């Protein structure tokens, strides 16, 4: 199923891949600001000979045309960094921009996909079909995938594949489960309005702090008593702004939170319950409530045939012991929009290695990756595309 020539090509480009990743790591750019990153990717594609087009305001779509007719498979990598202060002071390639950091591995994703592109291009005459390369901006704010799709990223595409470096999985292991992989990730804002006044005269007021506190304490019953234990869900209030002074009863309270689940029907039930809890809690105290529910990413649900193909590619390319089963995460991924209407799957490439200090959580200032895992990541990209296009029927 896999191609030994592709494996050989990947090995020839490992040093360049790591150097490219380190350059991106030293020059992180936030969502929709990936100008230098886009330029570097364009220069690399031009050097290989792969035609591409720039998307707006950042990002790139490129195509490798195979020597034989067939379908089109898309490979996606995200390219943006985070507003995180890097704490890896000993790294020679530490971020050169204070407060910005590749704290999630997107620098590695980009370098791996470029290396896979080199290998596929070098073996393009044997490809039965075409490979679309998607270098996507703004994943961290869940906007990039939608915009890339609007700009034609999926036009003519039959299947789409992506991956993520994963620090909680052992380095070199690869997971691509059938079904649930990432949860939907929505935003919640609740504003309670009471009646402010002097702290010595509570009877003349409606205390928004009490209303908000009651809401926070009670809303977990939405998960524990209104949601099936077989349908995982998370409701978190992460921020509360209430009050202005120690002796002033608060008139307003603003709460921000997030809602995560793996099922769209569950998602709608959670939304309705949150609105009900807010309205009824406010009514108990004589306050009012306004709920803003902002849909974020969809859940990432790997299509069965695509995930099974990815598993077979892992076994063929790297051996049975490389295949790993990682539990679904309630983190969000806007890769979900690519597979909303097109078959595909999303894999996790383990990078956790305590001896190398690469087992820090994603988005932490000490996050780093085990670069040895990148060789498998790059080859996995390329071998998935090759194997998908070789299928007589899919």
Q: How many CA atoms lie within 13 A of 25 on its CB side?
A: 25
Same fold, 4-181+299-390 and 184-297: no
DSSP state letter for 224: H
Q: Would you state the pLDDT for residue 3?
A: 87
Q: Would you state the pLDDT for residue 1?
A: 75
All structural domains of the chain with their residue ranges: 4-181+299-390, 184-297
Please give the average pLDDT of every successive group of 10 residues along the chain, which has 394 residues.
92 97 98 98 98 98 97 98 97 97 98 98 96 98 97 98 97 97 97 97 97 97 95 96 97 98 96 98 98 97 98 97 96 97 98 97 97 98 97 76
Q: Would you state the pLDDT for residue 377?
A: 98
CATH of domain 184-297: 3.30.70.360
User: What is 4-181+299-390's CATH topology?
Assistant: Aminopeptidase (3.40.630)
Three state DSSP letters for 83-101: CCCCCCCCCCCCCCCCCCE
Residues with active-site annotation: 80, 139
């Amino acid at each position: 199923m896999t191609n030994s020539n592709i494996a050989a090509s990947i090995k020839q480009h490992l040093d360049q891949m790591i150097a490219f990743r380190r350059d991106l790591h030293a020059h992180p750019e936030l969502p929709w600001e990936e100008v230098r990153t886009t330029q570097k990717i364009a220069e690399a594609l031009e050097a290989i000979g792969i035609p591409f087009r720039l998307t707006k305001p950042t990002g790139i779509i490129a195509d490798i045309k195979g020597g034989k007719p067939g379908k089109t498979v898309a490979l996606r990598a995200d390219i943006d960094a985070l507003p995180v202060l890097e704490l890896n002071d000993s790294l020679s390639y530490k971020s050169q921009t204070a407060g910005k950091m590749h704290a999630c591995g997107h620098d590695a994703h980009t370098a791996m996909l470029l290396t896979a592109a080199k290998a596929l291009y070098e073996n393009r005459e044997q490809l039965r079909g075409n490979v679309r390369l998607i270098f996507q901006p703004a994943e961290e704010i869940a906007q990039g995938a939608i915009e890339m799709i609007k700009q034609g990223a999926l036009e003519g595409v039959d299947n789409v594949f992506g991956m993520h470096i994963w620090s909680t999985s052992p380095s070199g292991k690869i997971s691509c489960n059938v079904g649930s992989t990432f949860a939907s990730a929505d935003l919640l804002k609740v504003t309670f309005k009471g009646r402010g006044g002097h702290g010595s005269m509570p009877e003349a007021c409606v205390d928004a702090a009490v209303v908000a506190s009651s809401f926070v304490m009670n809303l977990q019953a939405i998960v524990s008593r209104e949601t099936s234990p077989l349908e995982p869900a998370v409701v978190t209030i992460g921020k509360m702004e209430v009050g202005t002074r120690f002796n002033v009863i608060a008139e307003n309270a603003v709460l921000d939170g997030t809602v995560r689940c793996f099922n769209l029907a569950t998602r709608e039930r959670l939304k309705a319950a949150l609105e009900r809890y807010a309205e009824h809690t406010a009514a108990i105290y004589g306050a009012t409530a306004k709920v803003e529910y902002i849909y974020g990413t969809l859940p990432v649900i790997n299509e069965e045939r695509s995930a099974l193909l990815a598993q077979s590619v892992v076994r063929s390319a790297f051996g049975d012991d490389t295949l790993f089963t990682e539990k679904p995460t309630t983190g969000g991924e806007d890769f979900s929009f690519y597979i909303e209407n097109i078959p595909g799957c999303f894999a996790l490439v383990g990078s956790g290695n305590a001896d190398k200090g690469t087992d820090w959580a994603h988005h932490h200032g000490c996050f780093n990756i085990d670069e040895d895992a990148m060789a498998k990541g790059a080859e996995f990209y390329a071998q998935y595309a090759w194997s998908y296009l070789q299928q007589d029927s899919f």
